[in-house]
Structure 1
Amino acid sequence: MSPSLSEVFSLAGPLAQSIPGYRTRTQQLEMAERVAAALADNRVLVAEAGTGTGKTYAYLVPALLSGGKVIVSTGTKTLQDQLFNRDLPTVRDALKAPVKIALLKGRANYVCHYHLDRALSDGRFLAKEDAGHARAIARFAKTTQSGDKGECNDVPESSPVWSMVTSTRENCLGQDCPSHKDCFVLAARRQALEADVVVVNHHLFFADVILKDEGMAELLPACNAVIFDEAHQLPETASLFFGDSVSTAQVTDLARDTKIEALASARDCLDLPPACATLEKAAKDLRLTLGVEPARYTLAQLEARAGFDNYLVGLVNTLEHFAAILETQAERSEGLESCWQRSLELLAGFRRWRAGDDAKKAGGANDGAAELENDGPGSVRWGEATTYSLQLNATPLAIGEIFRKQMSGHPRAWIFTSATLAVQKDFGHYCAEMGLVDAESACWESPFDYGSQAVLYAPQGLPEPNSPGFIEAVAKAAFPVVQASGGRAFFLCTSLRAMRRMHELLQDFLEREGLDYPLLLQGEGSKNELLERFRRLGNAILVGSQSFWEGVDVRGEALSLVVIDKLPFAPPDDPVLSARIERMNREGRNAFMEYQLPRAVINVKQGAGRLIRDESDRGVLMICDPRLITKPYGKRVWRSLPPMKRTRELAEVVDFFAAGALA
């Protein structure tokens, strides 16, 4: 017989006996009981659990004791690996539960024997370092059981070689592949099918729900429960996958793969090499019609760009010609057949995007957000330029109904949990966005003593965030607090421009005062490298943007101050957001109160959550946006934060740090 949950979580229970430093938490047991009840009755539960509640064990214990097949989906691959390698084995061993566990990632995470062989035989690497990385991956492929690139420590995840030695949905040869029997992707899927608990990530879950290509399509019908951890990320991820997109990067990948396949199987086709070069140039020309800096563009902004429409038409015509040549060579190898099919899919994708574009023109729309009805039911077309690529998107403005359809059918439990889902304990915004009509909800406060462990500081006299010189004023107000805390600070900025300026200002202040606090900047290394340095140094200041607002855990004295420059409202000129605002306002709703503010509150809670990670942590959360105090909605923000002591006086903050130093 399985032990009761109260026994499992008690001081005499299996968790306490197996885990050093285990503490009982009332909130953890209550959450576990609610999760167990939802699992037993196939219900939908939305659960917010404050930092330190121990929510991971609170859902893993009932999941392992339920006797059913469970999919656990996380927001990041980092948490996915942590769950599979640390948390799940710990709970399974403590409970002595006879359950099989498996880890499943998207196919781009697994070495592909076929593409590895092709890359090595082709040998066209841009740098000597790349050739070395390819040889290291080849050695890894011979010894690894999983083929998961995360386990290949000799090659950085950012190496361009990975895209050459992994497969995509488009270029996988499937059963025609000569290495089909040894395929790491298929092995991972088989293990997932046999397992009782499968750990995936949100991107994989939604990619597969839509594309039916990543192994989840077989998993979902058999599973009894889906648990989403870091569930606050789901609306964004779901929007991404419930839409439609096509990119110039897919085109350049196709040209590159075709070139390699032609060398192996169609050397005598003299038309293919120049066609590959022309296709690659057409993709680059389209990207170059936009600015150098990465940015998002509304449809109106894209149309206004000189040459954009001509180069888009040019790319479609070039693709058409390219596909016609490939069709004549497709029978010569599986690889060329695959490239031909990809060329047809890409051609259809660009045509679909253009058709929406033309429909807008026919309807007389003059901006990217207004006449949405001409562009399919409730979707918006827009573009995102990265350094080397342009992605053209059609994104739904509401995903609730689409997601509700995905949940219907086979009865199972759906659990959504995170430290940040509610606004003042109200889950209305989240449930409406995700289409969770009959969901139960529950909220547990953190067990930490925020009243004595933390101070919320809102400095006086700062200008409005859109004023010139705002970042300079923030840096000036924050620097005395940095001195009082002895460094040990995160500066969380709401834009990359503000982040870079803040870094410059802090550097000047440190040099002027002769202070030797190491100053780290997002982008100077990988996120994990920067965090490791920050922890090791003990008195560093890290200036970051979106990457460091969530999913970052620094315990102890190394992080004692979190400075947020301003309330993180999404930029209103974002194409998708502006279209959603337009739509809600047309429906007579208040887009700011219903959509923009709740999202900003959840983001602030995420940023604030970096500060106190343990019972012994102490620190100051400094929010420099005067709207927190001056605007009526400011109350909704700070009342949603943990119950810290609040002050507007610098002297109280300095005394708080001084008291900590004496303790």
Structure 2
Amino acid sequence: MSAERLAPAVRELLRAEIAAAHGREVSFVARPDPNGLIVEARVVARGTVDAVLALPGVAVRGELLLHNHPSGVLEPSGADLTVAARLHDGGVGFGIVDNDVTDCYVVVECVRPRATTRIDPIDVAALLAPSGSVARALGSFEDRPTQRDMAAYVADLYNEGGVGMLEAGTGVGKSYAYLVPALVWARENGERTVVSTNTINLQEQLVGKDLPILARALGTGDHSPSFALLKGWRNYVCLSRLDQAREQEDSLFEDERRAELDALSAWAARTSDGSLADLPDEPSGDVWDAVSAESDLCTRLKCPHFDRCFLFQARRRAAEADVVVVNHHLLASDLAVRMASDNWQEAAVLPPYRRLVLDEAHHLEDVAAMHLGAQVSRLGVDRLLSRLEKNGRGLLPTLRSVLFGRDDLLSAASRDLVQQSLVDGLAAARRAAEDVFTRLARRLDREPGPAPVLRLRDEFLEDAVWEEGLGVALDNLLLAFSRLSEGTAMIADRLALDDPSERRAQLLGELRGVVRRLDAAAAGLTATLRPPLGGPAAVRWLERRGRKTVNLSLAAVPLDLAPILKENLFDRIETVVLTSATLAAGGDFSYLEERLGLDLPPSRMKVREIHASPFDFAEQCLFGIPTDFPEPRDDESGHGAAVARVLVELAHASDGGMFVLFTSHAALKRAADAVRNSIAGRWPLFIQGEGQRDHLLRRFREAGSGILLGTDSFWEGVDVPGRALRVLILAKLPFKVPSEPLTAARLERLEARGLNGFAHYLVPNAALKLKQGFGRLIRSRSDVGAVVLLDRRAVTKPYGALILEGLPRASRVVGHWADVLGACEEFFARHGIGAEERAVEGGRER
């Protein structure tokens, strides 16, 4: 093939770079035009005469990796073909030139863009205008120019491909701004969009409210927009496992759990959804474990309930939908499966997709870290072993009853195997697990603090705990898991030969599912306690979790997600829209760009825009920062007393209607104990941990003058428009705890690069978190209220300006608490807040 595929300027560039490398091999990334002519090229690596350094992730879909063969022989080597195959999976081509660039041999063509019908950004934005079809479908409509601007940007991203970061302040209406282009694109091109969110609340808003309205607004005679919500496997009840649990309830459950099973069966007969969220009362963990859908237990088409299966109904709806709504956890699971199987074209956990919207995108790194790592817990191991047998119930008693029901020699041999290999092996595994986790617990007890965490650094392999017996205990547990896994697999194979009928398929699936989980638990223990040398950098730790049920947990997660996300998500997906109310820290996107691997070339990163809230914060919101209270880090007790004082005094001024947000459960508990007696009789008091989150929120909205104390889960994803929420107290700046293992490791990595971890990680992260918390108060144009930040560092420390820079432009009062309280009282009086309380007080004085 001649070099006519290369534009003259590209040929000259390649010749010059090869000559400058003295004839050694050089790698280039080239971009062809729509006709296949290579019109741009850039050097990405210089290697030796023998090999080319092929860097993963440097080329994106539609580009071509070129390198020269100094010999002039353009026949691809074995290494060339391996690289070409890997690149092809990502839509990247591969070619070879000679040193003079007179010949060019394209081994694998790059994926050329599909012929698509462009959507006009102006027309898309017009759909959201006061005279547009969306306004007509809504009936009452609020004109939002920033929403139309954002929709036009999203439409451009669909047309051109690439990645966009679009921050949208409260009130912009970002969901319509990305859903309308997605639905129009699907109508014109038949391509689905996956929309991934972090919170259930946003998922419910999209599927239960926004998408049904937009489907009515944008539907035509030829096309009716479709959408689907897809959840993870364990969110759905499995009808086959439910049948099995009912048949074997005597051997699986104790008496008090059978009533739950009866209720589940009645619900499963009438529900059309079949997911945990549809249940009126959440079942106990062991009952749901026995009946929930599991991918490695599913018999799929062999299942007698396949046609009615809730999970596969949801998957079928998703496969046909224009928009599929998922959460970040499911998206990360899909990514992990695709990476492990090298499947980028077919369905995995999700249907194949080329257009992705990441809403609440600032959470992606932490969610992906946990899904792409390994976790093992004491309760998880106990639950896995109990699945085999506990108190005479479980798979082994069920298996014994099946085998004793047969009278042939093969069944007799299988019964012996169950007793010798499985029952005895299970007892050995239980003893070994108890030994391992007891030794780990004792080691953790040596760490300081009320909730100790032990970072498992490389030097942990030299810790005294190994000589004290952990090494032998771990060997025993891994050996017990291995024998139990082998025995379970063997009996499953024998049972399949002995009774291949479909009625045994579920039991076989359960047994083989246990095998896979035993193998995964063994791999997790190895990854966390004895990682292989030379593996990818990971953060490993041991901690206690849970407040009601204490659980010892081991975790190992990748230290740097950026290259993983860049190569496997942002370089592969045609269009990616990242949006949130908090993408930029102090107006700068670089923090999240670095964390997520978004250091992309301009040809790929198409837009970074901040769409400010349309609300009049200067009129609607007062922002107070008292400066005469102790700093939380210097005087924890004094700061806690200040929080309690401000809470009570502001409650009197506003007649309740208050959120108080903390950064730790301990601080929340201290405040609750301090104010409970003085305010609980006057205003309804709702405390996180003393009820389910959604239940607390509903009761708060209904109360009208309640006071809610919450931690992390209330800082975002909570929407209380109207007068029910009129005061927001932020107890302190929401810095991550620097000693937490993952945070500490990220800080160390930055320090190793010569960067200040506090400035480059903790400060921008706190800025985003504070902006999320601040955004809980003003949710509509008619909302009014006051935000009080009880952390003077925001105005006394040099970093405070960056943290405050991204907040809405509310009227700000900084000074002594008496001055801030006075300003709040004047603001409340001007807006009629707390009028009933003042009337009562006035009546008492008269």
TM-score (norm 1): 0.90
**Cα displacement (A) at 1:252:** 2.8
Q: Provide the rounded CA distance (Å) in 1 between the counterparts of 2:326 and 2:361.
A: 13
Q: Provide the rounded CA distance (Å) in 1 between the counterparts of 2:571 and 2:738.
A: 37
Q: Provide the rounded CA distance (Å) in 2 between the counterparts of 1:20 and 1:375.
A: 62
Name the SS of the counterpart of 1:458 in structure 2.
Answer: strand
Q: Is the 8 Å Cα contact of residues 356 and 375 (structure 1) preserved in structure 2?
A: no
Correspondence for 1:395: 557
**Cα displacement (A) at 1:542:** 0.6
What letter corresponds to residue 376 of structure 1 in structure 2?
G
Q: Is the 8 Å Cα contact of residues 721 and 779 (structure 2) preserved in structure 1?
A: yes
- 5 Å-filtered alignment, 1:152-171, equals 152-153=279-280, 155-156=281-282, 160-171=286-297
- 5 Å-filtered alignment, 1:599-638, equals 599-638=765-804
Correspondence for 2:628: 461
Aligned: 1:7 with 2:176? no
Between 257-266 and 414-423, the greater mean CA deviation after superposition: 257-266
CA pair 159-407 structure 1, distance change in 2 beyond 3 A: closer
Between 412-421 and 344-353, the greater mean CA deviation after superposition: 344-353
What letter corresponds to residue 298 of structure 1 in structure 2?
R
Q: Provide the rounded CA distance (Å) in 1 between the counterparts of 2:141 and 2:757.
A: 45
Q: Is the 8 Å Cα contact of residues 481 and 522 (structure 2) preserved in structure 1?
A: no
Correspondence for 1:26: 145
Aligned: 1:198 with 2:324? yes
Q: Is the 8 Å Cα contact of residues 202 and 234 (structure 1) preserved in structure 2?
A: yes
Aligned: 1:265 with 2:399? yes
Aligned: 1:143 with 2:293? no
Aligned: 1:477 with 2:477? no
Q: Provide the rounded CA distance (Å) in 2 between the counterparts of 1:313 and 1:324.
A: 16
2:194 to 71, 78, 82: 71
- 5 Å-filtered alignment, 1:492-503, equals 492-503=661-672
Q: Provide the rounded CA distance (Å) in 2 between the counterparts of 1:408 and 1:640.
A: 26
1:84 to 197, 202, 207: 207
**Cα displacement (A) at 1:354:** 3.1
Aligned: 1:590 with 2:771? no
Name the SS of the counterpart of 1:279 in structure 2.
Answer: helix
Correspondence for 2:112: none
**Cα displacement (A) at 1:226:** 0.6
Correspondence for 2:105: none
Aligned: 1:343 with 2:515? yes
**Cα displacement (A) at 1:156:** 2.1
**Cα displacement (A) at 1:388:** 4.9
**Cα displacement (A) at 1:337:** 6.2
**Cα displacement (A) at 1:65:** 0.5
**Cα displacement (A) at 1:638:** 1.3
Correspondence for 1:247: 377
**Cα displacement (A) at 1:145:** 3.3
CA pair 313-471 structure 1, distance change in 2 beyond 3 A: farther
Q: Provide the rounded CA distance (Å) in 2 between the counterparts of 1:472 and 1:496.
A: 16
- 5 Å-filtered alignment, 1:414-425, equals 414-425=576-587
What letter corresponds to residue 644 of structure 2 in structure 1?
A
**Cα displacement (A) at 1:620:** 1.1
Q: Is the 8 Å Cα contact of residues 107 and 167 (structure 1) preserved in structure 2?
A: yes
Q: Is the 8 Å Cα contact of residues 130 and 161 (structure 1) preserved in structure 2?
A: yes
Name the SS of the counterpart of 2:689 in structure 1.
Answer: coil
Correspondence for 1:40: 159
Q: Provide the rounded CA distance (Å) in 2 between the counterparts of 1:659 and 1:489.
A: 18
2:354 to 205, 221, 224: 224
**Cα displacement (A) at 1:245:** 2.6
What letter corresponds to residue 226 of structure 1 in structure 2?
L
Query: What RMSD, in angstroms, separates the aligned Cα atoms of the two structures?
Result: 2.9
Q: Is the 8 Å Cα contact of residues 537 and 560 (structure 2) preserved in structure 1?
A: yes
Q: Provide the rounded CA distance (Å) in 1 between the counterparts of 2:478 and 2:301.
A: 30
CA pair 575-14 structure 1, distance change in 2 beyond 3 A: same
Q: Provide the rounded CA distance (Å) in 1 between the counterparts of 2:431 and 2:238.
A: 28
Q: Is the 8 Å Cα contact of residues 455 and 646 (structure 1) preserved in structure 2?
A: yes
The CA deviation string for residues 439-497 of structure 1, in whole angstroms up to 9 with x for no partner, is 22111111111001111111121112122412122222342222111111111111010
Correspondence for 2:107: none
Aligned: 1:569 with 2:735? yes
1:435 to 584, 592, 597: 597
1:447 to 583, 604, 614: 614
Name the SS of the counterpart of 2:274 in structure 1.
Answer: coil
The CA deviation string for residues 603-645 of structure 1, in whole angstroms up to 9 with x for no partner, is 1111111111111111111111121111000111111111011
The CA deviation string for residues 217-270 of structure 1, in whole angstroms up to 9 with x for no partner, is 617674231111111111111111222333344433332333333233334332
CA pair 390-449 structure 1, distance change in 2 beyond 3 A: same
Correspondence for 1:59: 178
Q: Provide the rounded CA distance (Å) in 2 between the counterparts of 1:634 and 1:163.
A: 47
The CA deviation string for residues 81-104 of structure 1, in whole angstroms up to 9 with x for no partner, is 321122111111012252222221
Correspondence for 2:136: 17
Across the two proteins, how many residue pairs are aligned to each other? 646
Q: Provide the rounded CA distance (Å) in 1 between the counterparts of 2:523 and 2:356.
A: 36
CA pair 456-312 structure 1, distance change in 2 beyond 3 A: farther
Between 545-554 and 336-345, the greater mean CA deviation after superposition: 336-345
Correspondence for 1:645: 811
Q: Provide the rounded CA distance (Å) in 1 between the counterparts of 2:284 and 2:777.
A: 29
2:540 to 381, 384, 391: 381
Q: Is the 8 Å Cα contact of residues 257 and 339 (structure 1) preserved in structure 2?
A: no
CA pair 279-428 structure 1, distance change in 2 beyond 3 A: same
**Cα displacement (A) at 1:157:** 6.0
Q: Provide the rounded CA distance (Å) in 2 between the counterparts of 1:376 and 1:657.
A: 59
Structure 1 unmatched runs, 5+: 361-373
Q: Is the 8 Å Cα contact of residues 125 and 149 (structure 2) preserved in structure 1?
A: no
1:322 to 484, 506, 530: 484
Structure 2 unmatched runs, 5+: 1-118, 402-414, 497-504, 836-846
Identity %: 34
Correspondence for 1:369: none
Name the SS of the counterpart of 2:347 in structure 1.
Answer: helix
Q: Provide the rounded CA distance (Å) in 2 between the counterparts of 1:151 and 1:278.
A: 40
Between 311-320 and 110-119, the greater mean CA deviation after superposition: 311-320
Q: Provide the rounded CA distance (Å) in 2 between the counterparts of 1:140 and 1:236.
A: 35
CA pair 312-605 structure 1, distance change in 2 beyond 3 A: farther
Q: Is the 8 Å Cα contact of residues 552 and 610 (structure 1) preserved in structure 2?
A: yes
2:456 to 299, 302, 305: 299
Q: Is the 8 Å Cα contact of residues 672 and 709 (structure 2) preserved in structure 1?
A: yes
Q: Is the 8 Å Cα contact of residues 353 and 394 (structure 1) preserved in structure 2?
A: no
Between 500-509 and 213-222, the greater mean CA deviation after superposition: 213-222
What letter corresponds to residue 464 of structure 1 in structure 2?
E
What letter corresponds to residue 429 of structure 2 in structure 1?
L
Q: Provide the rounded CA distance (Å) in 2 between the counterparts of 1:248 and 1:206.
A: 24
Correspondence for 1:370: none
Correspondence for 1:184: 310
What letter corresponds to residue 210 of structure 2 in structure 1?
D
**Cα displacement (A) at 1:122:** 2.8
Rg larger in 1 or in 2?
2
Q: Provide the rounded CA distance (Å) in 2 between the counterparts of 1:505 and 1:408.
A: 49
CA pair 105-296 structure 1, distance change in 2 beyond 3 A: farther
Q: Provide the rounded CA distance (Å) in 2 between the counterparts of 1:655 and 1:408.
A: 50
Correspondence for 1:659: 830
**Which one scores higher on RCO, CA 8 angstroms, separation ≥ 6?**
1
CA pair 497-434 structure 1, distance change in 2 beyond 3 A: same
Aligned: 1:114 with 2:240? yes
Name the SS of the counterpart of 1:563 in structure 2.
Answer: strand
The CA deviation string for residues 92-124 of structure 1, in whole angstroms up to 9 with x for no partner, is 101225222222110011111222123222325
